[in-house]
Structure 1
Amino acid sequence: MPDALALLKTRRSVKPDQLSGPPPTADEIDTMLTIAARVPDHGRLVPWRFILFEGDHREEAGAAIASAYAAKYPDATGDQLYFETQRLARAPLVIGVVCSAQPGQKIPEWEQQLSGAAVAMNLLHAATALGYAASWLTEWYAYDRQVMRAYGLEDHERFIGFVHVGRHDGTPEDRPRPALADIVTRFEA
């Protein structure tokens, strides 16, 4: 297992179409989800959950995306609809992270949403620690109510994003990172 600081310093997102199989095993998925769920959760509300898209079910789930796309764009071509059908088939495993924030609680909804975002980030770190590459995406269908209903989301739920997990040959190219001097200030009274 890589050194924790080295892993945190070098984690990179990899585009879903650059990920290949084999997918994580059931035990590895359980490990990733267990690690993902170890986040601050004020009030112990567990305001998030997971949906796994695996195997042939990825394309079946993609049919819901294509259907929503066709409803938005009635003139969509067959190629465009096929592309939409493949959205969740680009990586061997896709994990939908769902925000189930509970309004009216002592803990503000915003904090509950942030807890869900921490879940997605932990999921990326867990995948990397297990030797996989991953990418957290929120493409148009993450915000589409028709797609949300097709995947069983309740009216108060929404997607935090989809984490695509697979194997990647080589070292992913890094992007420029901000200089600390540009993003850090120190409060002085």
Structure 2
Amino acid sequence: MNAFDTLKQVIEGRRTTKPAQMNGQKISDEDVKEILALADWAPTHARTEPWRFFVLTGDNLQKFCEHHADLYWANTSPETRTETKRDALLNMGSKASHLVISLMRRTPEAKIITEEEYAAVAAATQNILLGATAKGIASFWSTGGMTHHPAMKLYLELKDEDLLMGLLYLGYSDEQKEGMRKIPLDDKIIWV
């Protein structure tokens, strides 16, 4: 198989696997380090390399889920919060092996617009998801819960110009998912 076919297979094989569908099997820290090394090769304007990652596993992953659920409960109005949502956040990491918190760290002296820095971190995050797929690891890029709430930014001690991109749950799953797209590719491309 040539390099394009291998890359195509990995990209087309990437699936979102929710943490509840993971089986609790642990990933080696070495595999996670190799996956994170792929993130470091994302495109970056002016070489600002704005991606940063917190990696949590074991008790620290569970503590984060507890804090996430507490943040949700404390920062959501009693009229809209639900115990079901709180419990879901509390248990997000129960079957995941690792949680990678992906964030954008701005370089104030660089004159790169936020959208370009955001795109660079999104590309780095996609590299993580593709690396996980290539290693047979299931992944879920979550932007739900309190991910984009100021309380989470404060909890993680992020700077004002930093941006939390998402929570990447990594683990193994016994389920195989089929891929699909709703809009035909030809409807998304205009040849000029």
TM-score tier, shorter chain, comes to 0.7 to 0.9
Secondary structure of the residue aligned to 2:121 is helix
Structure 1 Cα separation of the partners of residues 42 and 101 of structure 2? 17
- 1:93-132 alignment, distance < 5 Å: 93-103=98-108, 105-132=110-137
Deviation at 1:88, TM superposition (A): 3.7
Aligned to 2:172: 167
Aligned to 2:14: 11
Structure 2 Cα separation of the partners of residues 77 and 6 of structure 1? 40
Give the conservation status (yes or no) of the 8 Å contact 1:101–1:113: no
Give the conservation status (yes or no) of the 8 Å contact 1:103–1:109: no
CA change 1:110–1:27 in 2 (3 A) is: same
Q: Give me the identity figure in percent.
A: 24
Deviation digits for residues 124-169 of structure 1 (CA, Å, limit 9, x no counterpart): 0000111111121111311111122212322221211111111111
Structure 1 Cα separation of the partners of residues 45 and 21 of structure 2? 37
Q: Does 1:56 align with 2:59?
A: yes
Structure 1 Cα separation of the partners of residues 49 and 179 of structure 2? 33
Deviation at 1:171, TM superposition (A): 1.7
Aligned to 2:88: 83
Structure 1 gap ranges (5+): none
Q: Which amino acid in the other structure matches residue 132 of structure 1?
A: I
Structure 2 gap ranges (5+): none
Secondary structure of the residue aligned to 1:134 is strand
Deviation at 1:185, TM superposition (A): 0.2
Deviation at 1:71, TM superposition (A): 1.8
Structure 2 Cα separation of the partners of residues 62 and 170 of structure 1? 24
Q: Does 1:176 align with 2:181?
A: yes
Q: Which runs of 4+ in 1 moved over 6 A?
A: none
CA change 1:155–1:87 in 2 (3 A) is: farther
Deviation at 1:113, TM superposition (A): 0.8
Q: Of the candidates 29, 34, 39, which is equivalent to residue 36 of structure 1?
A: 39
Q: Which amino acid in the other structure matches residue 92 of structure 1?
A: S
RMSD, matched Cα:
2.1
Structure 2 Cα separation of the partners of residues 164 and 134 of structure 1? 6
Structure 2 Cα separation of the partners of residues 43 and 79 of structure 1? 45
Structure 2 Cα separation of the partners of residues 115 and 155 of structure 1? 19
Structure 2 Cα separation of the partners of residues 106 and 77 of structure 1? 43
Q: Of the candidates 112, 136, 139, which is equivalent to residue 134 of structure 1?
A: 139
Deviation at 1:66, TM superposition (A): 2.1
**Range with greater deviation from structure 2 (71-80 or 153-162):** 71-80
